[in-house]
Each structure stands twice: as C-alpha cells, then as structure tokens.
Structure 1
Amino acid sequence: MPLLRAALSWNFVLATAICASLLAQLIKVLLNLFIFHRFIAERMWGAGGMPSSHSATVCAMVVATGRYCGVNSPIFAIAAVLSIIVMYDAMGVRYETGEQAKVLNRMFTEWMDQGFEQFQLPHGKKLKEMVGHTPIEVVTGAALGIVLGFAMPMV
C-alpha cells in the first residue's frame, strides 16, 4: 500500500490509468485460466480479449483527470477525446485487422497443405488474430476503468 500511495501522490492520473491497465490484463489471465483451464502468458501483455485493457486504461484516465483537474478543464476534454478515439479504434480498425488475420492464416494453411511453400510466413508463424475488441469487451473494459477511476483514493 505504501508504494501505491507514493505513486498516487506522485501522479494520480497516471497511477490510476496504469492500475486499470494492469487489473484488466490480470483479469484476462484469470478468465483464460477459468475458461480454457490453462495459463496463457501472452494474456499478461497482449492486446485483444476480455476486458479491453485499452478501454480500462483510458476510461480510468478520464475519470481520474476529471476528479483531479475538474470536468471543465481542457485537460479533461483532451483525455475524453483521446479515450473515444482509442475505444473506437479498438472496436473498428484493430478488430477488423484481427478478422483479416484469421482469413489470411486460413488461406496460408490451405496453400501450405497444397504445397505452395512460397506463401509461408517467415519461420512458419501465423498472423496475430487477437488485436482488437468486440463492443462488449470495450464496454466491459470501460466500466472497469470508470469504477477504478472513482475507487482510487486521491492522496
């Protein structure tokens, strides 16, 4: 607790946003343990999945900024606009990138099965498919960030 208190007194907004990000990533790991019954290390830092750590981070930042600077401040406005862009991007462009990666990976696998080795990705890797979020993942992450933003004690 002394470390958290020191971080909050150093920079309340940043510490709150980082805590939200870490909590969201921890929840992803725990959900994977519960659902798939296995530890997936990549879930500790990887993008995509439930809940959206991007949404949790920016929503916690917005709430903390509003609490610290006031909702009428230009800094709050900047934080709010940034959070909208990040969440829109997570559901839109990044989600579609993941969907395209699924199709391309399937195509590469079929081509390899047919003997077209020239279409193999370097080192036999696959394109990352989990890079974006569904709307429910974004909303859940946003709710997590908002709750944490209000729950963090102002020092």
Structure 2
Amino acid sequence: MHSIYPLVVSLLANVIAQVLKPIVLYMRTQKFDVHQCIASGGFPSSHSSTVTALSISIGLSEGFDSALFAITCVFSFIVVYDAANVRYYAGKNIQLTKQLISDLEEMKGLKFSDPIYQERLKSVLGHKYVEVIGGIVLGAILPLLLYPLFYS
C-alpha cells in the first residue's frame, strides 16, 4: 500500500484541481461551465498541484534527502515553470494572432479563405501566477493530509 501513495496522491490532486475549476469560475463570474473540468488553464493549476503532490509525497515516503525526491523536484520545477510561462505566453500569442486576423479583415476588407484561418484555437493554455500558486498549495496540503492513511 505504501508504494502507491505517491501515485494516488498525485492523481487525486489532479482530479481535485480539475473539479475545483468550474466551481471557482462560478464563484467569480456566476457562470457555470462543466467543461472547465477538462480544460487547461484556470484556478487552480492542475499541473502544479499534480507535480507538487508527487514531490511532497515522494519526500514523505522516501525521504527529503533521497535522489528520487531530488528528481521529482527538478521535474516539478520544469512543469510549474512551463505552466506559468511557456504555455501562458503561447496562449497570449494565439490571442494576439486572432486579433490581428480580425483587424486585417475588418480594416482592409480582406477575407482569409484558407481553412487554417478558420481553425478554432484555445487561447487559454497556461496559468497566471496566482493559479500556479493555488495549485502548489493544493498539491502541498493533500500529501500531508493523506500520509496518515497510508502510513499508520
């Protein structure tokens, strides 16, 4: 039972974060969108909660001085950085590109007939820092709460 603790905690952190997204969106906007459960972006970051839960659970089960904990920490830092920066700015680039196409069509009367211009792209790919921090907090709390269930 001990060996599946990091897996269970990490997957549970992911599921909880995804389930919280439409709830948080509703609290902010009074609009409920169940599709947020499978969406990227939003509060809290499921990427951040998953890898943080993995790192903390490995630290608790294998020791915070273990090589495995070091590996998961490095992995976690990469994923969190990607969620907050690379994926976030990729989404911003998509928004800018969509706006430029719209402006060109409107201002110059151009019609872009190539199907590539009609493709629906997700403009929310990454996270704002507060969303990442929310995911980190969720991912840090869950392993601490569940540790006694696996190691009592």
> TM-score category by the smaller chain?
0.7 to 0.9
Structure-2 residue corresponding to 1:5: none
2:100 alignment partner AA = M
Of the three residues 123, 129, 137, the one matched with 2:131 is: 137
Unaligned runs of 5+ in 2: none
Does the alignment pair 1:48 with 2:41? Answer: yes
- Inter-partner Cα distance in structure 2 for 1:121 and 1:9: 52
- Inter-partner Cα distance in structure 2 for 1:108 and 1:125: 12
- For the structure 1 residues 75 and 60, does the alpha-carbon distance in structure 2 shift closer, same or farther, using more than 3 Å as the test? same
Checking the alignment, whether the CA contact within 8 Å between 1:70 and 1:76 is kept in structure 2 is: yes
2:70 alignment partner AA = A
Of the three residues 53, 64, 75, the one matched with 1:71 is: 64
Checking the alignment, whether the CA contact within 8 Å between 1:112 and 1:120 is kept in structure 2 is: no
Displacement, 1:51? 1.0
- Inter-partner Cα distance in structure 2 for 1:133 and 1:90: 6
Q: SS of 2:112's equivalent?
A: helix
Structure-1 residue corresponding to 2:111: 117
Of the three residues 3, 9, 13, the one matched with 1:16 is: 9
Displacement, 1:38? 2.5
Q: SS of 1:72's equivalent?
A: coil
Alpha-carbon RMSD: 2.0
Shifted more, 10-19 versus 32-41: the winner is 32-41
- For the structure 1 residues 43 and 120, does the alpha-carbon distance in structure 2 shift closer, same or farther, using more than 3 Å as the test? farther
1:132 alignment partner AA = G
Does the alignment pair 1:154 with 2:147? Answer: no
Displacement, 1:64? 0.6
- Inter-partner Cα distance in structure 1 for 2:94 and 2:50: 25
Shifted more, 98-107 versus 108-117: the winner is 108-117
- Inter-partner Cα distance in structure 2 for 1:145 and 1:84: 13
Displacement, 1:83? 0.3
1:149 alignment partner AA = P
1:111 alignment partner AA = L
Of the three residues 113, 120, 124, the one matched with 1:126 is: 120
2:79 alignment partner AA = V
1:87 alignment partner AA = V
TM-score w.r.t. the length of structure 1 is 0.85
Structure-1 residue corresponding to 2:75: 82
